[in-house]
Chain A
Amino acid sequence: MAGQMDTQDEVKNTVRVYIREEFLPDEDPSALADSTPLISSGILDSIATARLVSFLESRFEVRFKASEIGVDRMDTIDLIAATIEAKRE
């Protein structure tokens, strides 16, 4: 599916599903909110973050710079969605 077709809610949902399936498979789905800290809480370590970035790039056809990977732009699903939206603009 082309990245441009996703609304921000769809982006959030896609990211949420990916994180849940890849990194939190045994968790209660409702425990992962859009504002749940991901990197600063340790849910996403460097390897998980790298894998997530790789997924986002291929799924939404965007390109991340190395300097964009970190707490500032990727600590929550909200932030990730906003970053992707900013890139697609």
Chain B
Amino acid sequence: MKTLAIPKAAEGGASKQDEVIRKQAGIDAWQYIGIAVQVALVLIVAVVYRLELERGFAAVAGLIFIGFLIHSWLPLPARVPFFLSLSIVAIAILMRGDGVWVVLIGFALIGLCHLPVPWAMNIGFVLAAAAVLAVLRTGWFDTPWAGAVIPVLGAIFMFRMILYLYDLKEDRTPATPWQRLAYFFLLPNVCFPLFPVIDYKTFLRTYYDAPAATIYQKGAFWMFRGVTHLLLYRLFYFLLPRAETDLPGLLGVYVFMAMTYGLYLRVSGLFHLIVGSLCLFGFNLPVTNNHYFLASSFNDLWRRINIYWKDFMMSTAFYPVFMTTRRWSMGLRLVIATAFVFLLTWFLHSYQWFWLQGVFPIASTDIFFWGVLGVALAANSVWEARRGRKRSLQRSEWSLSEAIGVTARTIGVFSFMAIIWSLWNSSSVGEWLHRLLQARDSGGGDLAVFAGLVVGALLAGIFVHWLNDREQGPARLEQIARRHSAVVVPTTAMLLFIVGQPQVYLRLGDQVQAVVTKAQSTSLNTIDIRRQERGYYEALSRATQFEATSFSLPTQEWVGISDTPAAELTRDIRGVTLKPNVEIVYRGATLKTNRWGLRDRDYEKTRPAATLRLALLGPSTAMGSGVENEQIFENVAEDGLNRARAGSAYDQYEILNFALDGYGALEALFLARHIVPDFDPQVVMYVIHPGETYRMIDRLRLRLKFGTRMQVDPKEQLGDEYAPVLNAIENSRPDPGSAPEEFYRRLAPYQDEILAWTYQGIVDASRQQGSTPVFVLIPLTDRDFENTERDMLRNVIRKSGGTIIELDDVFRGYDPEALRVAEWDNHPNELGHRLIGAKLSAALLELSQSIGSTPVNGAHQ
């Protein structure tokens, strides 16, 4: 089999280094084919399990594979230009017309660095350009392309430009124009805005610095590791809420925090995938993350986790500060330099989110996290400087005391990181404290189990050290996996691919099916769904809520309804209503209100003759969050009813939409009593989603919280008509300013009672005005009603005398991704609304024939 040698003609006047690269860049064709098969399988697994597909990784994966097939056959001088072209093609495919802006502005920014002026002026020009882009990123000016273009430009330039300019000042490392451009336009960057900070000199130095086969095989192996990290992340992500609900006391708290820390697997998975794919093009970049969960000191952790960031901070912050404080003592220099690194890391973290999301988050949890980690690292640095750290050129000999020490320190560092990481991931310090304080609920048995697990972990760690010493432990296994990665990667990838097929996993039992479907799911877990729902009222930036777990974030336009000019605040329990006759863009769609302040078509207040009028009450889905007015399911249902009215007792149907983002049962009761009767509907429908009771209580918390801010007394907000709710509040004394979970815990004993009373109120209010009360159960795009909740709701509605329409199967057979507004928003999109509208109109048609008499099949009491 021939070797892919580099054609002589391509060499030109190659330098000695070029000659070394030329020798390294050839590869045996069989090896090349084997690696190509591995890459193909790994990428197929990524697509089958829908890993990171939200931003177009499927297209980039195709380009990576096709590019790899072509790249290795090209003459060496053509390879970097080819890689650059491939990166620009990726931008063109994913961004279409906007891609032109990215490339042009990108080239211009690089050009500014090379203007023949003093370096300080280059810096000034780049800063001026960045300032203009930052202003555009804020959205103060109406530039249609900026929202799509600047985040990608930010992802490309926000850190690498710093390193590039630093090199131009200090080293001026020789590089061709192609290499300079390729350093910025790195193929996967367009779909992965969160990107490892690749050092410029390392990027140049490591280009084919080892045989091509070695680099390519490393790339395939790292991509495979990246995929496994991302799959593990998915499982952790979906198991996380169960740790909170299923495990008691201290154990539950610990497991929850440990799994939250485990969510970092997403970052390490992405970085492995990114760097692995760059290896396929000859860039032999160093390892990005290295067994960070096994760090045995804070400095060790800093050396293992996000190594590229550590190197970036060392070169741009730590050493510059250290070298300018020569007159101070070693300990003080280390402390000052470390403190500066963490201050800068915190700032750059927010700076990064500004470019990617358009917001500059300043969160107490961020400050606390980086502050605590900085102090721990500074203390560790001083300790190591004074006491030293054990280093060895050879394998150290087995020692029980050493094994105990390392294992105990590893458990300690992991636990410490899990605690502060869970804080970083919390919406607030209060939420985190509430979770932490749940450890108080531990009984003696729970504590014994926890202590047993700690001892078990210690013994397991010692055993692993012992095995490793005998070259029979996990370290040996990893060595074998690396050495035989040409076999391990395709075999495991093939296995994952096969198990990922529905024809296979559906036959492997419920457990396997559950694991595989979770591993393939791109939905939010229940914790993030609750946070998302809370966000509508609290108007928090989603970027600050999801930063550690999700990088597919909404833009800053994704604000709560109360933050829009269409909203009008009220002092009653609703808190907010819509102004009449306004038109805004809300969550990517036009939101128009009619003269009555309803997001709906225009209707007369007086019901026309021979018309069946229905009033719709409910939360964001019923209001049509994220879709156009005409696409909302109530309009779809209304049109469906009017098309099918032949033979009906009515000439026309009207559905009036009183729903609003954040409205729940308590708000619906207010509307049913005070607003709806003026419009004289014959049917009052209230829409219910999974999680109804929790949502009702959480809305109550927010109403009271906003009431406190607006200096409205709860009694005024709720009024005497909500006396049972006021009584429950007086009895349980929940603090609206506390963590949501704490507020919920206090009111939980009263929730069933409040729900039953509220539904009864809706039914009674409807009946008093001569309307038929109907409760419509609609699942979320990614979440069905659980049986217990469905049974409870049925029971409560039946007792209240209301009619139920259950649309449980409305999304059955559809991929949740195809139904939602955006990857970060599980509200139904136009298709989802169409499906709901069609089902609802059919059910209502049956119901309309029995208005005033007993219900029929489509609906039941």
A residues touching B (Cβ–Cβ < 8 Å)?
A: 22-28, 31-32, 36, 42-43, 45-48, 50-51, 53-54, 57, 64-67, 69-70, 72
Contacts and interface: CB of A to CB of B under 8 A. Distances in A.
B455 interface: no
Contact of A46 (B314, B323, B330, B391): B314
Interface in B284-310: 299, 303, 310
A63 B320 CA distance: 13
A16 B860 CA distance: 87
B393 A24 contact: yes
A46 B299 CA distance: 9
A22 B381 contact: no
B315 interface: yes
B61 to A, nearest CB: 31
Contact of A65 (B170, B299, B337): B170
A66 B322 CA distance: 8
A66 B319 contact: yes
Contact of B385 (A27, A51, A70): A51
Contacts of B205: 72
B201 A72 contact: yes
Contacts of A24: 391-393
Nearest to B314: A46
A82 to B, nearest CB: 16
Contacts of B444: none
A47 B315 contact: no
Interface of B: 166, 170-171, 201, 205, 299, 303, 310, 314-315, 318-320, 322-323, 326, 330, 333-334, 337, 381, 384-385, 388-389, 391-394
A45 B326 CA distance: 19
Contacts of A22: 388
Contacts of B330: 51, 54
A65 B171 CA distance: 11
A24 B314 CA distance: 23
Contacts of B384: 47
A23 B320 CA distance: 23
A33 to B, nearest CB: 9
Contacts of A47: 299, 334, 381, 384-385
Contacts of B318: 46, 50
B171 A67 contact: yes
A28 B171 CA distance: 37
Nearest to A70: B315
Given A45-B299, A47-B299, A67-B171, A27 B393 contact: yes
Q: List the 7 closest pairs (A to B, CB-CB), nearest first.
A: A67-B170, A66-B319, A66-B320, A31-B393, A66-B323, A69-B319, A50-B322
Nearest to B169: A67
Given A67-B170, A67-B171, A72-B205, A43 B393 contact: yes
Contacts of B388: 22-23, 25
Contacts of A28: 393-394
Nearest to B171: A67
Interface centre among B171, B201, B381, B393, by most A CB within 10 Å?
Answer: B393
Interface centre among A22, A26, A50, A51, by most B CB within 10 Å?
Answer: A50
Nearest to B381: A47
Contacts of A50: 318-319, 322, 333-334, 337
B203 to A, nearest CB: 13
Contact of A23 (B315, B337, B391, B394): B391
A32 B201 contact: no
B303 A27 contact: no
A66 B315 contact: yes
B58 to A, nearest CB: 36
B323 A65 contact: yes
Contacts of B310: 46
B325 to A, nearest CB: 10
B315 A31 contact: no
Contacts of A43: 391, 393
A13 B320 CA distance: 28
A23 B388 CA distance: 7
Given A47-B381, A51-B385, A36 B315 contact: no
Nearest to B390: A26
30 contacts: A22-B388, A24-B393, A25-B388, A27-B393, A27-B394, A28-B394, A42-B303, A42-B391, A43-B391, A43-B393, A45-B299, A45-B303, A46-B318, A47-B381, A47-B385, A48-B391, A50-B333, A53-B322, A54-B333, A64-B323, A65-B170, A65-B323, A66-B320, A67-B166, A67-B171, A69-B319, A69-B323, A70-B201, A72-B201, A72-B205
